[in-house]
């Protein structure tokens, strides 16, 4: 038996992962903050977010430098753990 809520949770979790990747956030840094509590709080905010359509639209567009998802309740957190650019 398939539960509709489990599908929603799965889609939201995937969207959160996509947002992490799209914003160049470092998932290891995010997970390490406050022994994982910050990551869990961010996941919860994503699950409760009412901007799913805006999020999907933003994620489906080509990436533009400096563009930020202003609708995202996790945007400042993700920016705070952004990966450092590789320079040589």
For the segment 28-85, what is each residue's pLDDT rounded down to a tens digit? 999 999 999 999 999 999 989 999 899 999 999 998 877 889 999 999 999 999 987 7
Model-level pTM greater than 0.85? Answer: no
C-beta atoms surrounding 86 within 10 Å: 5
Sequential DSSP letters for 11-36: HHHHHHHHHHHHTTB-HHHHHHGGGG
| Per-residue pLDDT reduced to its tens digit, 29-45 | 999 999 999 999 999 99
Give the bridge partners for 25, in sequence order: 82
**How many structural domains are present in the chain?**
1
Please compute, for residue 22, the number of CA atoms within 13 A of its CA located in the half-sphere on the CB side.
Answer: 22
The Cβ of residue 6 has, within 10 Å, a number of other Cβ atoms equal to 9
In a domain? residue 63: yes
Domain that residue 14 falls in: 4-80
In a domain, 57, yes or no: yes
- Residue 16 in domain: yes
Residue 88 lies in a domain: no
Is the pLDDT at 22 greater than 90? The verdict is: yes
């Amino acid at each position: 038996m398939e539960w509709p809520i489990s599908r929603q949770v799965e889609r939201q979790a995937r969207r959160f992962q996509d947002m992490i990747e799209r914003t160049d956030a470092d998932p290891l840094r995010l997970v390490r903050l406050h022994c994982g509590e910050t990551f869990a709080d961010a996941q919860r905010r994503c699950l409760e977010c009412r901007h799913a359509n805006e999020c999907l639209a933003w994620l489906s567009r080509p990436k533009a430098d400096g563009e930020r998802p202003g609708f995202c309740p996790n945007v400042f957190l993700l920016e705070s753990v952004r990966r450092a650019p590789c320079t040589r």
